[in-house]
Structure 1
Amino acid sequence: MDGKLVYNTLEGIIDETNFPTYAGFKNTGLERAESLRKDLEWFKEQGYEIPEPMAPGKTYSEYIKDLAENDPQALICHFYNIYFAHSAGGQMIGTKVSEKILDDKELEFYKWDGQLSQLLQIVRQKLNKVAECWTREEKNHCLEETEKSFKFSGEILRLILS
């Protein structure tokens, strides 16, 4: 649920924005909130209780909202890390989880409309185009935000392990 909250927040910001930097990232094909909703519904149908989001997801969601209003370079860093990390490493993790505990059920989270590599390449090109307009300081600021992105994502991942 924490991951879903973060995806809902990020995708809501992108979908509802008039800010040109963010508007270019609407409907990229990488969106995961709807896929997560379907997967959670499936788990519920299997008899699992779906918890409410916890502090790590809520905190990250609020942080992303603040960045959207005040720090576009930092938000773009989180956008990149959330989508690219989960798509690249996520497929491998999803396959292992499916094999080990889900009787080979393929979760919606790991399905994309189209070739994932193509979707990632298109978004990567858009990201590079946005960053071309940034100053060196803005580019550095974006890169420096990576540590926070990993920290927030790691806190959510640790919920799974607890």
Structure 2
Amino acid sequence: MFLASRSDTTDTTTTATRKVQDETEEVNPRKLGLALQLDDGTRKSHSMAQNTAFVSGFFKGLANRESYGALLKSLYFVYDAMEKAMDESDEYRVQQLDLPALRRVTSLERDLEYFYGNNGDSAKSFLSNVQPSPATRTYVARIEQVAKSKPYLLIAHQYTRYLGDLFGGQMMGGMASSTLGLSNGEGTAFYEFDQIPNTQAFITKWYKLLNDLDLTEEQKQEIVDEANLVFDMNVGILQELEGSPIQAFVTLAINSFKARLGFA
């Protein structure tokens, strides 16, 4: 019988420890299952033109308060339809992903009341006299359609909107505040998730819930296809806005430069 040297023993112990750590370490859910399918399936299908259209459209929404207000109104109609559909649906897989901290209608109402509540009107009262834009009507109609025919496709709407809001919310809210001269979170409640102190941990939890859903491979592919359609419908809303993306970008750059110099 041979005894291992101290170095051999140390190496063996280190290897065993690493093996245990590797086995117990939780795998990033974004690298598995439907989460991976959605991330890959939506990323690969978006052309450079589509991505450029999305960014350009977002900057159009920051060009002035009128354009930003139009964006908020469209988003309100979309989220109102989506969250009503989730409330009314008995699709348990949609319910499992419907976490209260993600809901956006109340935040959008606060933003709309900030911009349009001069007469003390509530957002709902104000919006009762507002007609959704053509692209917004198309989007809302699609939500209502899938809610009735294939409610599990609402998962694609949850994924595209809520996770997009979480991933880019802080940055986009900051850009809106800087470009439009907003302060103290006024008019940007939509981009704030006060009930989510750790965004990355929350997203990881949501992806895990997504991967644990009982779905067939065919249903998963349908959800990926729907997510791509949702992206295109969001681009459609942004492209309707009348602001100048160049104006917004220049204003943002100037204000950011001033802030760095301590002038803002």
- 1:4-63 per-residue CA deviation (whole Å, 9 max, x = no partner) reads 11101111111222221222233431111110000000011469x975321111211110
Equivalent position amino acid for 1:59 in 2: T
Alignment-derived partner of residue 87 in structure 2: 15
How many Å apart are 1:105 and its aligned residue?
4.1
1:123 equivalenced with 2:195 (yes/no): no
1:114 equivalenced with 2:204 (yes/no): no
- Cα separation, partners in 2 of 1:117 and 1:15, compared to 1, 3 Å: farther
8 A contact 1:13–1:68 mirrored in 2: yes
TM-score, normalised via structure 2 length? 0.55
Q: Distance in 2 between matches of 1:150 and 1:117?
A: 22
Unpaired runs of 5+ in structure 1? none
8 A contact 1:91–1:110 mirrored in 2: yes
- Displaced runs of 4 or more, over 4 A: none
TM-score, normalised via structure 1 length? 0.85
Alignment-derived partner of residue 159 in structure 1: 240
**Aligned 1:86-125 pairs, distance under 5 A:** 86-106=165-185, 107-112=188-193, 113-115=195-197, 116-125=199-208
Over aligned residue pairs, what C-alpha RMSD do you find? Answer: 2.2
Alignment-derived partner of residue 62 in structure 1: 141
- Cα separation, partners in 2 of 1:82 and 1:58, compared to 1, 3 Å: same
Match of 1:25 among 90, 97, 109: 97
In percent, how many aligned pairs have the same letter? Answer: 26
**How many corresponding residue pairs?**
159
